[in-house]
Chain A
Amino acid sequence: GQQLNQSPQSMFIQEGEDVSMNCTSSSIFNTWLWYKQEPGEGPVLLIALYKAGELTSNGRLTAQFGITRKDSFLNISASIPSDVGIYFCAGQRDPSGSRLTFGEGTQLTVNP
């Protein structure tokens, strides 16, 4: 079952604002992944993190792998209307297996 706490559950922001969301867990993860899903589509991988403390950017998106291995955050700078969607975090705990644990998602709405 779900073991990742993702927050906030939803966000309503104005175009141009910065956004921050995070995922936390009581368990240690060795991989963190961030996805974006638009209505009726499959999730698209945004950023993958493999090392504690790693900070990775993809355009206006930046994500970090927490130093304790129990959390990760995603920032979006200068939001635009096409950023609208649901953002999911996912973590992998067991290096010998491949199952992911997913957060429940952050619904982002950007007002023009």
Chain B
Amino acid sequence: DGGITQSPKYLFRKEGQNVTLSCEQNLNHDAMYWYRQDPGQGLRLIYYSQIVNDFQKGDIAEGYSVSREKKESFPLTVTSAQKNPTAFYLCASSIPAGEGGETQYFGPGTRLLVL
């Protein structure tokens, strides 16, 4: 049963704490992504990784960190430097398709709430 899993579904954080969101995929996809979604808004790219041991900042990387030690896993750490971390976090992975295109598939998301 292939897919993308994110855990936990809900996560509560106290101010000043770092928290790590898990993302695992068994689709054998090379590229993985983290997005943030705020109420009533679209998706904003935090970080992405096109290959193991390499990753790039997206549009809103400040206050976040990632690692890509394994192809299947791309954890996201929300650090205390992120001033407004309450949001819905989505992980995605992609596979080449079409003429140089990529098709991205999303996980079920993690909702982070700061107490």
Q: How many residues on A have C-beta within 8 angstroms of the other chain's C-beta atoms? A: 28
A-B contact count (CB 8 A): 72
> In the bound complex, do residue B99 and residue A102 qualify as a contact, i.e. CB atoms below 8 Å apart?
no
Pick the interface stretch among A12-20, A38-46, A75-83: A38-46
Query: From residue 80 to 115 of chain B, which have CB atoms closer than 8 A to chain A?
Result: 88, 90, 94, 97-109, 111
> In the bound complex, do residue A100 and residue B99 qualify as a contact, i.e. CB atoms below 8 Å apart?
no
Q: A98-B48, A102-B42 are in contact. Are A90 and B104 (CB under 8 A)?
A: yes
Q: Chain B residues in contact with chain A, CB under 8 A?
A: 4, 6, 31, 41-43, 45, 48, 50, 58-59, 88, 90, 94, 97-109, 111
11 A–B contacts, CB within 8 A, in A order: A31-B97, A31-B101, A31-B102, A42-B107, A43-B43, A45-B104, A45-B105, A48-B101, A50-B101, A88-B43, A92-B102
Extra inter-chain contacts (20) besides given A41-B108, A45-B103, A105-B42, CB under 8 Å: A30-B99, A30-B100, A31-B98, A31-B102, A35-B106, A42-B4, A42-B6, A42-B107, A44-B106, A45-B105, A45-B106, A48-B97, A48-B103, A50-B97, A50-B101, A51-B99, A98-B94, A99-B45, A100-B102, A102-B42
